[in-house]
Amino acid sequence: MTLVRLIGLVAVLLCAAEPVRAQKAPLVAAAADLRFALESIAQRFTGESGERVELVFGSSGTLTRQIIDGAPFELFLSADEAFAETLASAGLTRDGGALYAVGRIVIFAPHRSPLKVDARLEGLRSLLARGGVTRFAIANPEHAPYGRAAEAALRATGLWESVKPSLVLGENIAQAAQFATTGNAVGGVLAYSLVLAPPLSERGTYALIPDSLHPPLRQRMVLLKRANETAQRFYRYLQQPAAREILRTYGFVVPQG
């Protein structure tokens, strides 16, 4: 065997012996209303594929700003498709993305609260008239889509000005849920997907607010330009029947097909 062939053989053997590096788990930015549903979907995705994603939750507006500022996210699931479209218009995404769900809001009251929950918010109206509303929680409408939906519903029922002095604003809908169940808050307007999960479902009562009282919470996801193969596969998985069934379980309306 010549020296050249020997060196080539050694190089091949060394390459074969080098362990294959696992692809780094992509960072997935997701609206806070998805916390329980997306964690369940991600767990199932990992069980079926052996691949892992790392989830980061926050308000859609805040996550959008972070992405624009260079945050290393690879997939973004927004609670308002306008934020996803903003990123697409800025040339930061692979394409226009896909609508993955439509969200709903509820009025929630913790156990022992004087607030009686109902779909038309008449219990809140009555409690406000009696001066019984100490604190009432919603997400911040400036950057949280569920906060904007809450404000729209309160305005549609003529309660916004009356409840405004008592509002406590969560940075996102998950923080608003914490405020609604702690301290002296009588309740709040929260994401349906959160109150269906055990941490909240066991702590109070709720009523689904008609979607005619607020603009639709059309939730869109987009792949960012840096998305690796795992992120792309997770994006496709979110559009499959198994993932959509989990979203339905948490109260989301999902696209047909």
Tell me the per-residue pLDDT of 200-222, one tens digit each, with 9 for 90 and over: 999 999 999 999 999 999 999 99
Confidence of residue 22 (pLDDT cuts 50, 70, 90): low
pLDDT of 18: 38
| Whether 124 contacts 159, CB under 8 Å | yes
The side-by-side arrangement of strands in the sheet containing 185-191 is 167-170, 135-139, 185-191, 105-110, 204-208
What CATH code is assigned to 10-102+216-249?
3.40.190.10
Same fold, 10-102+216-249 and 105-213: yes
Tell me the three state secondary structure of residue 221. strand
pLDDT in tens, 114-159: 999 999 999 999 999 999 999 999 999 999 999 999 999 999 999 9
Q: Does the pLDDT value for residue 13 go beyond 70?
A: no
Tell me the three state secondary structure of residue 74. coil
Question: What's 105-213's CATH class?
Answer: alpha beta
Phi, psi of 100 (to 5 degrees): -110, -20
What are the structure tokens assigned to 207, written together? 């009523």
| Whether 165 contacts 136, CB under 8 Å | no
Residue boundaries of the structural domains of the chain: 10-102+216-249, 105-213
What are the structure tokens assigned to 203, written together? 């702590």
